[in-house]
Amino acid sequence: MNSLLKDAENRMKKSVEKIVEEYAQMRTGRPSPALLESVKVDYYGVPTPINQIATITTTEDRSLVIKPWDRSVLSQVEKAIFASKLDLTPINDGVNIKLNFPVPTTEQREKWVKIARDNAEKGKIAIRNIRRDVIKEARELEKASEMTEDDLKKFEEEIQELTNRYIEEMDKAFEKKSKEIMDF
């Protein structure tokens, strides 16, 4: 029973971590090197994350500057950014690539909050599905007489508490991201 609970907790924790990771890569109007983590560059035939072939810095004027260690990959970096879903236009000066982040409109920010809400809802569904699957396993154990009815009842209460805790964490992650998007 404890192993079922531990397994469920690990899976729920991973669901929250996945959404938090997606939030880090989500565009909010503020320049962040984390936005480029999902962008892969064709580096001598190998898809490579930009941060493994270049230095990425944030500037005062709401920009990211990408300085590849090997200038010959500038055009590949530029192509990768164009191909990404970031909706940014890279400016190649022959040495660096600059990404400007204009101040987003209220409409854009509301759209980003909606995307963040949808991601949080998907995460909550994943957590509830984990609860459902684990309770099903526990009921099968009870049918096989490997668990008593009282133990099953106690287990269901514990898994519900765990579910509530991780759904609350998901809500907190969404609230934090929403505030980050809307506050300028």
User: The whole model's pTM is what?
Assistant: 0.76
**Domain extent for 70:** 33-100
Domain containing 18 — which CATH number? 1.10.132.20
Residues 91 and 131 in one domain: no
pLDDT one-digit tens code per residue, 119-141: 999 999 999 999 999 999 999 99
Q: What is the pLDDT of residue 32?
A: 81
Q: Which of 72, 100, 128 is the last residue of a domain?
A: 100
- Tell me the residue length of the chain: 184
Identify the domain boundary among 85, 100, 115. 100
Cα–Cα distance, 149 to 143 (Å, whole number): 9
157 and 112 together in one domain? yes
Tokens representing residue 158 in the block = 């514990």
Give how many domains the chain has, as a whole number.
2
Are residues 74 and 37 located together in one domain of the fold?
A: yes
User: In this model, does residue 184 exceed pLDDT 70?
Assistant: no
39 and 67 inside one domain: yes
Cβ contact 36:54 at 8 Å: no
What's the CA dihedral at 165, 170, 175, 180 to 10 degrees? 140
